[in-house]
Amino acid sequence: MDSQIDTSSGEPTRDAVDALGGATMLEFGTSWCGHCRAAQPLIASALGAHPGVRHVRIEDGSGQPLGRSYGVKLWPTLVFLADGREAARLVRPRDPGAVDRALALIDRPA
């Protein structure tokens, strides 16, 4: 992957996300959200089949600028990016096949 993103000091900026090269899945949610916790096994399973996809978890909340810039209203929201551009989005995913299909859209062989 050409660009990396540092989330150690908090959420990344929209400019940093837009500049990412390659395939990235942004996961907006919180650690205490029941829907987010329920989605973790299907997200992990789908990502296992797509090791080339960068996975960035964003601890979202009211007024957080990155989530607002993507129009996130419900958790979890998964935003699938190809070279910094949105290619797909899933809100509160329950179908493992849907996550895999969205990942396949952005995970293209080099």
Q: Which domains does the chain have, with CATH numbers?
A: 14-106 (3.40.30.10)
State which amino acid sits at residue 107. D
Confidence (pLDDT) at 4:
59
pLDDT digit string (tens) for 16-37?
999 999 999 999 999 999 999 9
- 62 burial (CB, 10 Å; 0-12 / 13-18 / 19+) is exposed
Residue from 109, 110, 44, 30 nearest 77 by CA: 30
- 5 burial (CB, 10 Å; 0-12 / 13-18 / 19+) is middle
Give the DSSP H/E element, type plus range, for residue 18: helix 14-18
Give the angle 79-40-78 at the CA atoms, nearest 5°.
Answer: 5
pLDDT digit string (tens) for 81-95?
999 999 999 999 999
pLDDT digit string (tens) for 34-83?
999 999 999 999 999 999 999 999 999 888 999 999 999 999 999 999 99
Residue position matching structure tokens 């190809």? 82
